Amino acid sequence: MKVLVTGAAGQLGSDVVSLFRKVGHTVIACDRNLLDITDEAACLMTLNEHKPEAVIHCAGFTAVDLAEQEVDAAYAVNATGTRNMVLASERVGAKFCYISTDYVFDGNSESPYHEYDNTNPQTIYGKSKRAGEILVQSLSSAYFIVRTSWVYGMHGKNFVKTMLQLAEERPVINVVNDQKGSPTYTVDLVGFLLELIQTEKYGIYHTSNTESCTWYEFAKAIFVELESTSKKRYSVRVNPCTTEEFPLPARRPRNSIMDHLSIRTNGLTDLRPWREGLRDFLRDFSSTSKG
């Protein structure tokens, strides 16, 4: 299959490109230097030139706190840019896969969110990503909306890398213990996309590694798993704190756990538990760092 990937140099997009190529797909990798998704004419020209069978739209304005200040920029990328890519995909008859987020929910639910729960984003990032979802649903005749959460991988900045860096610099790290969700390893997410994109089981999917934890529990697990997969020992102490003790410009959801209803009802392969993914990531990350 010929697949065009936006945001191809990003954390998720990098793994989409490499893993899709590894299994034999023809991949057109478009980063922001090759394709400005806010330019409608450029989107049409690029898709007309390559005529992909599927588009995986990983590009996005993902700086959650910065979005609170740069509102127009967030919407230009997450809403208008997504619209441009959808219209261009429709023109060439390509399936469209939009990567979305748990931030489309308010995080106040006592139970996991399923795909058809009402959305209620509380941040500019969440609102702009929800706007992108609405445009996809309105304009695409063959779409997958894949909401994910707490993503980390080998490329770019993420929570796991931040914890490892802070452990080198500080004796104590305070991590919030009243926000819960499901960490998602990019490699596992891409594995699901590989299966999904070859079907016509269109719709909304919640896709994260299974099982859940708080950010504090995630941080603790990072160091426990690292010690079991490498000889490196960290003397850092990880302490729990509250959201109020760690204020940020954009409100974080208290509950980001998503139920994988659509994966089950469509007979697709669910992701493995988050701790298994973390273990594999740390093993690969440690060996890469040594190399």
E strands, the chain, in order: 2-6, 26-30, 54-57, 95-101, 143-148, 151-152, 172-176, 180-181, 184-185, 203-206, 213-214, 237-241
Task: Count CA atoms within 13 Å of residue 59 on its CB side.
Answer: 31
Which residue is catalytic, options 103, 113, 125, 185? 125
Nearest CA-CA partner of 139 in 55, 17, 13: 55
| 197 Cβ contact partners less than 8 Å away, ≥ 6 residues apart | 1, 3, 54, 56, 95, 97, 144
Q: How far is the C-alpha of 153 from the C-alpha of 15, rounded, in Å?
A: 8
What is the chain's percent helix, strand, coil content, to nearest 5?
Answer: 45, 20, 35
Q: Is 152 a catalytic residue?
A: no
Handedness of CA 258, 96, 131, 68 (dihedral sign): positive
Task: Report, as residue numbers or ranges, the catalytic residues.
Answer: 125
